[in-house]
Chain A
């Protein structure tokens, strides 16, 4: 029996991601929180308001990548706990880190797919153009990984019901919408609000995407990228630690 290498583990993480794509992308709860929620919120806050067209696409894109990426882990992990298929991963020859990597990739791909749709919609409906591909890819790519990792971190809550994960996560997700410059420009926020905005990962996602779609960046590409990377590492690290703790408890 040959030893299991890191490359083997990476391949197996990818296999989990592909399986999750097949099984969970079209689940009603994933569609609701990953697609309907961001589009509905976008329409609720933009219809009837005098918002310049060039601001609409970044808002939509940042919201979709935020909601979609963070919605797959909290759906798939509790559901897999319920039918005990999550145990399959734990008893298969791959580490917990690789299992969570597979789950993170599945969320990330969902975020990328839905935000691509949002981008195309923005291009057709609002005439948006891409002015800096690098910033756009960096923004959407890093954000989808980061928010997917955030979803995996919340999915460490030991429950078999996706609602039990979505509920506390929404207590974090919804306030972030209001301090991240989506509906209120950061420059118009009070000093405390601006400080909070800097700490919000969604702020840096929106800022990078805005820059990529022809707008100006408030914090600059390096600061935004650094913050998104930092949050990605934080969510991954804390997520792994929480899942390990839960495994010890169960």
Chain B
């Protein structure tokens, strides 16, 4: 069994609304697999189906070989879940939260107590184990939630927006912890709308938009496709009316957008654009107020990946992009 997770035409309708549209993907054992998409793209619905919280309308999926509908109890026994909201029991102590979860997974008393102690020490919460979770910070609750997902020695860990809304230190701790767990052999399915997080952590990334998977590949291969959505943002003390058109004429510029008092210049060669814009400013006697080089934002990436432009690039053989490109769109 090479794959920890297999989704085959997985589909979810809410009434007439198609939330997840016949998606297919496979996650290898020991992989960190990122699932990216904007809000409402179908990430959480997919994770809810894979974890047994919601029943698929059509299609099927398996976790470590167990069918999520026909063998749901066995499938759920090998997974841990950290949902997008830290669903801990506020009325229980940190310790009792872990013990309750371990019991739900049938972990023996001795092993459970050892594991709970190990987890709480790992997250530096052991000293506060007897306190009710109600008084914990958002980051601490998140850590408890992750500890609860790991208390059963799960083989597959589902993380739904694990670092959303956390402070920088907590984010770094959680990312490091996930990496360490992965090194120990844990398969991780990570949903996020943070491109940088996915880039740092994932072996492969799937991008979902409007319920369809538009791309699956390694972060580096995806970045190659996204290279020309890098941009330079510049503002001048005084700007002429037709500046956008003039900037558009520069050799290394793909496109220009006026955003408030700034011009966003899209390019696949930011250093060259900087030089050309500098020459342009000198020639017209313009004084730059600010200049920033920007990587592809998630918004840019999605515009690209769901737009006709990139589909055409992909159709032309865009760097091994399509293990699973939204098939209907491809046609």
Contact = CB atoms under 8 A, between A and B. Distances in A.
B92 A12 contact: no
A247 B91 contact: no
B87 A9 contact: no
B87 A92 contact: no
Q: How large is the interface on B (under 10, 10 to 19, 20 to 34, 35 or more residues)?
A: 20 to 34
B104 A90 contact: no
Contact of A12 (B53, B87, B104, B155): B104
B72 interface: yes
Contacts of B55: 244, 247-248
Interface residues of A, number: 29
A94 B87 contact: no
Interface stretch (B74-82, B118-126, B236-244): B74-82
A93 interface: yes
B302 interface: no
A191 interface: no
Contact of A22 (B52, B91, B101): B91
B51 interface: yes
Nearest to A102: B104
Nearest to A16: B104
A88 B78 contact: no
Interface string A1-27: 101100011011001100100110000
B91 A87 contact: no
Interface string A47-65: 0000000000000000000
Interface string B95-130: 000001101111000000000000000000000000
Given A85-B87, A91-B51, A92-B104, A249 B77 contact: no
27 contacts: A1-B74, A1-B155, A3-B74, A4-B73, A9-B73, A12-B103, A12-B106, A16-B104, A19-B92, A23-B89, A83-B85, A84-B83, A84-B85, A84-B87, A85-B88, A87-B48, A87-B87, A91-B53, A91-B79, A91-B81, A92-B101, A93-B76, A93-B104, A94-B73, A94-B76, A248-B54, A248-B57
Interface of A: 1, 3-4, 8-9, 11-12, 15-16, 19, 22-23, 83-85, 87-95, 244, 247-250
